[in-house]
A and B are shown apart, each in its own frame.
Chain A
Amino acid sequence: EVQLLESGGGLVQPGGSLRLSCATSGFSFSNYAMSWVRQAPGKGLEWVSTISGDGGTTFYADSVKGRFTISRDNSKNTLYVQMNSLRAEDTAVYYCAKDRTTVSGHYPDYWGQGTLVTVSS
């Protein structure tokens, strides 16, 4: 059974930093791209970042480029995102997602339960 468990969320001041983790099990982690998707309170879903299975390729939404860094440790089956220079508009539930890759692109087929990040003074 595929399982994704996020941790590391919490309250942080504007300009601060936070690192989220996503521990996974039930699939061959290194064979799959992984993504972070966020959802602001009462709002829709927003793709944040994706990393390839070997960690060598990363993609970011314009809204987080230069501030967030996605990474993975395939020996620990764990996905990370380092979030710096946080803003109020980064407040959201952050989901980690296992991606299914196609010839054109990729889409999430499994999601974690999410972790809430609140940016406020």
Chain B
Amino acid sequence: DIQMTQSPSTLSASVGDRVTVTCRASQSITNFLAWYQQKPGKAPELLVYKASSLETGVPSRFSGSGYGTEFTLTISSLQPDDFATYYCQQYNSYSYTFGQGTKLEIK
């Protein structure tokens, strides 16, 4: 099975900051990677698919990049609504696996 490792596990930042979350795959997944945002008590929401394609309706301050085994999610200027937990997910096989999550906290 393909393992996904996110870093950091927790990230403290302020409104207006630029932040980056990293996700590494245990083997190449080319660009079959998605990113989700989850707020407490809510279902995850799709932000990015195919490593760098922004889902319709997602603000342009979010961006994704990467290929192979290393990927990043960047928020260019943090807004109050962005404090949440972020998960990467690989879909390079019939099953899919998630990273362990990165909790973005207010500094």
Interface SS majority for chain B: loop
Whether a CB of chain A sits under 8 angstroms from the CB of B100 is: yes
A105–B43 alpha-carbon span in the complex (Å): 21
List A residues 3-62 near B (Cβ within 8 Å): 44-47, 50, 59, 61
In the bound complex, CA of A39 to CA of B78 (Å): 26
Chain A residue contacts of B45, Cβ below 8 A: 111
In the complex, the answer to whether A109 meets B98 with C-beta atoms within 8 Å is no
Q: How large is the interface on B (under 10, 10 to 19, 20 to 34, 35 or more residues)?
A: 20 to 34
A121 to B86, CA, bound (A): 33
Q: Say yes or no: is B89 at the interface (Cβ < 8 Å to chain A).
A: yes
| Most B-side CB within 10 Å, residue of A61, A100, A108 | A108
B23 at the interface (CB under 8 A from A): no
Q: How far is the CB of A40 from chain B (nearest CB, A)?
A: 12
How long is the Cα–Cα vector from A111 to B42 in the complex, in angstroms?
10
With A111-B45, A113-B43 known to touch, is A105 a contact of B94 (CB < 8 Å)? yes
Q: Are B46 and A114 in contact (CB under 8 A)?
A: no
Query: With A45-B44, A114-B43 known to touch, is A109 a contact of B95 (CB < 8 Å)?
Result: no
Which listed residue, A45, A50, A104, A109, touches B46 by the CB 8 Å rule? Answer: A109
Q: Which residues of B contact A105 (CB under 8 A)?
A: 32, 91-94, 96
| A interface residues with partner B (beta carbon < 8 Å) | 44-47, 50, 59, 61, 95, 100, 102, 104-114
Please name 6 further chain A to chain B contacts, defined as beta carbons within 8 Å, in addition to the given A47-B98, A61-B95, A105-B93, sorted by A numbering. Answer: A45-B101, A59-B95, A95-B44, A104-B30, A105-B96, A111-B45
